[in-house]
A = this chain, B = another copy of it.
Amino acid sequence: MTKLSKREEIIQLAASLFRKRGYSSTSVRDIAREIGMEASSLYNHIRSKQEILHELMLNVANSFSTGMKSVKEAPLNPLQKLERLVSLHVNITINEPDAVALIPNEWIHLETKGIQEFLHLRDQYERDFKQILQDCLDEGFIKPVNIELASFSILSTLRWLYSWYGKNQDINIIALEEEMKKCLIQGLAK
């Protein structure tokens, strides 16, 4: 564990509060109290409350985007790429569970520019995801299925993984990855 700068400490702590109560219900004074200083002192380290959210959301969005990029470029067949994407989600979720927990909802509280940047990354990610699933279908790796719905379903599960991980933190990561791949990719039907 590398020691965090005060700024990083504030941002990490804010992430856990944003996760628990939401961005709007977390006041600058709440963050300050938890970190052990006055609210105004925070402003020696950050520019605004909004900046904290912006940094959290775009950092984690960029983690996913660069992860996707390296998966796309890897010399793998589409099914293997799909498995790599499951690994990607599991790993990012375990490394930054609080920031990941903000993804589904808290982006609405970004200001105009932040929203645009964030949604652009998210849309691009979903397009890439669907394309890989489509490749799986075209190359006969999976059953014929509605690609829109299937990618929506897989991404829904992966997005909510953080809440499941919250309750089962003792699980082996490798095992979790394998179970997820089995569950999401191999499907249920006999």
Contacts and interface: CB of A to CB of B under 8 A. Distances in A.
Is chain A's interface secondary structure helix, strand, loop, or mixed overall?
helix
Nearest to A183: B149
Contacts of A157: 152-153, 156-157
Give the oligomeric copy count.
Answer: 2
Interface stretch (A28-36, A55-63, A136-144): A136-144
Contacts of A25: 24, 108-109
B140 A190 contact: yes
A189 interface: yes
Given A108-B21, A108-B22, A109-B22, A142 B188 contact: yes
Interface string A87-105: 0000000000000000011
Interface in A145-166: 145-146, 148-150, 152-153, 156-157, 159-160, 164
Contact of A145 (B24, B109, B188): B188
A185 B190 contact: no
Q: A interface, how many residues as a size bin?
A: 35 or more
A187 interface: yes
Nearest to A136: B188
A164 B187 contact: no
A48 B152 CA distance: 37
Contact of A186 (B104, B141, B168, B189): B189
Interface string A13-24: 000000011101
Interface of A: 20-22, 24-25, 104-105, 108-109, 140-143, 145-146, 148-150, 152-153, 156-157, 159-160, 164, 168, 179-180, 182-190
